[in-house]
Structure 1
Amino acid sequence: MTQKQAIQLFEERKVRTVWDDASETWYFSVIDVVGILTDSPDPKRYWSVLKSRIKKEGGGEPTTICSTLKMPAPDGKMRLTDVADAQQLFRLIQSIPSPKAEPFKQWMAQIASDRLDQMQDPELSIEQAMIDYKRLGYSDNWINQRLKSIEVRKLLTDEWKRGGVDGTQYATLTDIITMEWAGRTTKAYKRYKGLKKENLRDNMTNVELLLNSLAEASATELSRNENPKGFKANANVAKRGGTVARVARQQLEHQLGHSVVSPLNARQYLGTLPDNPASETAYLTSTEKTTKPIICDDSEDINK
């Protein structure tokens, strides 16, 4: 069951959502919706009271009102929280007196329509990613490079799969490539830029992004030429792909007189960005759905 996390915006307010490919359904964070509709300083408390009231009024058990999924919490960790699909959310909205109820319903309908359109025409997903990056302040040139880097990365992982590499080993191969051209593992590179959960590529400069793409594209072409089988052979190809980018980096740095591996992250060179930028997270990040039946509780603080 493939799911894709996304941060949607309603009147500049964030709503965490998850799209489930199998059921073609959006799930919305109930806490986020309650906060928007009520402007309550404590939406978690408001939701807890509302659940009790609905149950007493015969509106059904909490498990029929909402489900529970892992979503990114304010601290960046994935934590269980109550979610509802569109039908469940319409029921909840009817229980909340708010002048925003009708506009919110229309917004939900548009979100669902847009996603279904994107499934029929993948180019729309790319266009949406461009809009999201643009909103965050990235330049057109950077956006074009970033979208191209996504394609380059996909071609590389396809090669790894063809070469018999297990998906759990992709991170290790990526570290080999990054270490070779940038002199740092992915984790160390993120620390260097002051990142935690953020996407490293979303925080690369134009030059860093180009060099990373050069390394991955080189590894892909070497793989196609040599047809390596197994992890060890693919690791060797990954290292050599990284070497191509390292040589290019060294030549450029010799001309510039300084390193092009920058400690700057997107917040620093673009200004203050919203938390949890949509970008690739909206369309490419898979998460595991919690299918265990749980009586919906105010469980956002559960560290799972």
Structure 2
Amino acid sequence: MTSEKGHASMQALMRVLDLEVLEQNLFRGISPDAGWQRVFGGQVIGQALMAACKTVDVDRHPHSLHGYFMRPGDPSIPIIYEVDRIRDGRSFTTRRIVAIQHGKAIFSMSCSFHVTEEDVFEHHSAMPDVPPPEDLADESDMKATFMQVAPEPIRKYWERERPLELRPTSFDHYTSDQPQPAEQHVWLRSTAPVPEPFADDPRVHAAILAYASDMTLLDTALFPHGLSIFSRAIQAASLDHSMWFHRPFRIEDWLLYAQDAPSSHAARGFARGAIYNRAGDLVASTAQEGLIRPNKPKP
């Protein structure tokens, strides 16, 4: 059953994603008061996608996005999103979005939209065989057991109220400094239904999934090195992010985020993800390269 805190968290997320219209092709977004030193990358991706959606006909849904992070975002001030209407074709629509703070670009993204086409070629890869979310520890179980022995940064992250519930199939990489395989499987869903008037807008569900897709992806590239994104020994940041939306889905329903990281080299980790619904249909794919380097000791 959805809790009042779950509803409140989802309402707060929609206040972040539902941008203010300043002028044609110009929008303003806010950041949540989460005590972070920089803006969460998934927030900027989701807001940029929502900005693009506001300039596209409702019968066209996003099918791909490709973004680059250029500067850390400042959570204390709004972010301005400028949308360039590159092309409006018969089947596809293309937009370019730039996120601006302090007069400089912090993020840029290209996004393509497509009208739905039926009776075409159909196939997808099989979903990994993993335990269902009901067989995994929920957040109350984690707070009662795992969180008691988790390192402080991990405990603070998991204890914070969030609009999305995550259920990893394993916590080994968070509790051990031993190298782990460069893969992970995480079930995710929203903590409450998407509120009105956004509940049945598939583009809003896509924006929320884009927001969520940045949460655990880069972490996978650190597992072979006995580290996690929470380690104080490293500097980590998203450099780019790509996403493809293949099939309809709802963010309130459990989705499996299967991730792997085939390469880390030259202070960059590369990770990719496949997102499946409960029926085993591939609904989205992701890819990301991020900065991962040891922190330099202070002189």
User: Into which bin does the TM-score normalised by the smaller protein fall?
Assistant: under 0.3
More helix by share: 1
Q: Which has the higher contact order (CA 8 A, sep 6+)?
A: 1
| TM-score, normalised with respect to structure 2 | 0.25
Rg (Cα) greater in structure: 1
| TM-score, normalised with respect to structure 1 | 0.25
More strand by share: 2
